[in-house]
Amino acid sequence: MLGKILDKSSCAKCRVCCGFVEDDKWEIPLIFTELRSAVEQKLGVKLIPRGNEFVFDMKFDGDKLVYCPAVSENGCTLGELKPFDCMIWPFRVNQLGERRVITVSPVCEAVIDLPLSRITEFVNTDGFAERLFEESRKHPDMVKPYIDGYPIIKAENVN
């Protein structure tokens, strides 16, 4: 999904978005209900509920880094079952007041180092923004609170 601005091999090498500490557990990617059983079967894990969706049951120990059970040295092992949150990383849909906005995480150096004009062009072409907003309407639990300092790339129109 992000192939026009992000190389798969650089993602597989970095994997910063696949590791979490206890303070980051709110960012564990959601597995949409319709993919739950297939993901559990493929990885041999049990998912736990979060809102109306599911997440990996990851055990934390403070600041000790814990990796997603789907990550390998070559990237994600889930293929077509990859969580939507992961497919769109480092972009996310955030709630900012009454509006939903698409932001980009400054943690992803490969994208945040791109010119803002290139990032904005990517989000606004080929239906990317519309798909993010549509998925956030179907799966509202994927919408995270806005974090100060995250660049806002697009805001959803409010009718």
Same domain as 63, residue 38: yes
Please name the residues in contact with 50: beta carbons below 8 A apart, sequence gap of 6 or more.
28, 30, 141
Last residue in a domain, options 81, 115, 141: 81
Q: Which two tokens stand for residue 21?
A: 């500490």
**Structural domain count, the chain:** 2
> What pTM was computed for the model?
0.90
Q: How many CA atoms lie within 13 A of 12 on its CB side?
A: 11
**Do residue 59 and residue 95 come from a single domain?**
no
Q: Are residues 62 and 94 in the same domain?
A: no
The reply to whether 68 and 14 lie within a common domain is yes
- Domain-terminating residue out of 56, 81, 106: 81
The answer to whether residue 58 is domain-embedded is yes
Please give the Cα distance from 72 to 17 (Å, whole number).
Answer: 13
In a domain, 3, yes or no: no
Residues of the domain holding 91: 87-155
Same domain, 13 and 76: yes
Q: pLDDT per position in the chain (159 positions), as tens? A: 788 898 877 787 788 889 999 998 889 999 999 999 999 999 999 999 999 999 999 999 888 999 999 998 888 999 999 999 999 999 999 999 999 999 999 988 888 889 999 999 999 999 999 999 999 999 999 999 999 999 999 999 766
Claim to verify: residue 73 and residue 113 sit in the same structural domain: no
Residues 62 and 106 in one domain: no
